[in-house]
Amino acid sequence: MGMTERLREDAIVRILGDLAQADLGDPRRVLRAQKIAGRLATNPGASLPNALETEAELEGAYRFFNSEHVTFNDLLESHALGTVERARGAGVVLAIHDTTTCKFAHADPAEVGYTNTGKAGFLLHLTLLVDTRAWKRPLGVVHGEPLTRRKKRAGKRKGTKTPGSGLKAKESDRWLRGVEQTEQRLDGTASVIHIADRESDSYPLMAAMMAVGRRFIFRACHDRITIDDAGSKSHVRTLVERADVVLERSVPLSRRLTESAPVARRRHPPRDARVATLHFATAAAVLCAPQYCRGFPKTLAVNVVHVYEHDVPEGQAPVDWLLYTTEPVETAAQIAWIVDAYRARWLIEELNKALKTGCVVQERQLESSTALLNMLALSLPVAVELLALRSLARSDPSRPASSLFTHGMLSALRRLSHRPLPARATVQDALWCVAGIGGHIENNGQPGWQVLQRGMEKFLSFAAGWCAREDADL
């Protein structure tokens, strides 16, 4: 929901409760962390001088972010512990893994690190835990790992291995580290199914996970070689294209804008919003180990789910997924569950947007790598709560608006919004009103992060005065 929103009190209590578990060597540092996080949760998109109420608070925040006694891992650990507690009783949770690039235009790349373009920034690999009950509620981040490149990358040299070609001292190791740390932290609290996009399609990764019984749903990047009982070899795509369709489903696809980077544009081509009819087919595959994978099993037995689309509008790329999974595919219900679990992967992409647009972490004017990472660690729990609000609005739009906003806030929203808010307003009704305040035009479809952010800034400023007046009248 990309907004500078004042989170509900229960959300702020969760954030501060997680931080209470932080081991920062001095309880005063914990209190400082809670104060900063509380201010950011109250107004996530504000600049630090605007979010922190006094000069003393601002100076204290800068000292905290730059302190040699505070680390990204220490701050994230406390949130991860809280996330694990929220997973208790969930039964099955999804651990969604992804890597995003954090860019800091104001910073010195020699201090912060280099992105692929040579600008200042670093990769941030995250694992988001998601509850599978009722609605897919984001529980929190259980693994976070910054990857800093201290030298500008040269062009790819001849003979350089591609990502995922092994697991020795490379950036691709992060996928297995994320899996193992997630499993270690949960330690039986809930069953885990790991979800990841095409970059995770690594034979060594799948082999390492299957060797110890880890469950996964990974989208395939490579059309791998398979072998049947008679020893005949073929490609996975050939295998599934021969399989019968076992299920069809109509699914709404959101609009996707053009990516600026050529690689991202190839992987995620732009598309218009539409309702797609998806066909599901399955096959059992025995994957053959690539030649470079020495020391790993020669074959891996996995299930494959093929999700594809016919009759695509002209100029639009069809949906076409190959999913490798350890999950059973014996019934239509099992197949549908696998696809729905993989579709939940969009939540971590939205988390990245919540972090960058809702919490404006890339615009924080901090110079050192330490300060930026500590700021990121404090912003992650806030981004999770913003994401939870948006995902609730999408998954259960008919839920009462009172589950998100207080009575006084709804009264203020009715007064400020040019769109009518029904007496029994739903979450969706309230969010459309907020979007309208931010300048959203109904014909433009679902509101994005930035328009909601503008709307919430105006609404919260008005609501604060409105609620204060109501309190004074009591």
Q: What is the pLDDT of residue 52?
A: 87
Q: What is the pLDDT of residue 469?
A: 66
Half-sphere exposure of 462 (CA within 13 A, CB side): 17
pTM of the model: 0.83
Q: Give mean pLDDT, residues 262-286.
A: 78
Strand bridging mode 121-131 / 92-103: antiparallel
The helix (H) or strand (E) run that includes residue 186 is helix 173-186
The CA distance from 414 to 433, in Å, is 8
Q: Are 339 and 323 within 8 A, CB to CB?
A: yes
Instruction: Give rounded-to-5 percent helix, strand, coil for the chain.
Output: 45, 20, 35
Tell me the CATH number for domain 9-71+365-394: 1.10.246.40
> pLDDT tens across 12-68, in order?
788 888 898 999 999 999 999 999 998 888 778 788 888 888 899 999 999 999 999
Q: Which two tokens stand for residue 235?
A: 């490609």
Q: Are 163 and 175 within 8 A, CB to CB?
A: no
> pLDDT tens across 92-118, in order?
999 999 999 999 999 999 999 999 888
Q: Percent of the chain having pLDDT more than 90?
A: 47
> pLDDT tens across 393-410, in order?
777 788 888 876 778 888
Q: Are 176 and 205 within 8 A, CB to CB?
A: yes
**Terminal CA-to-CA distance of the chain, rounded, Å?**
33
Assign domain 92-155+165-358 to its CATH architecture.
Alpha-Beta Complex (3.90)
Domain boundaries, the chain: 9-71+365-394, 92-155+165-358, 400-473
> What residue has token string 């930026």?
372
CA-wise closest residue to 90 among 196, 186, 221? 186
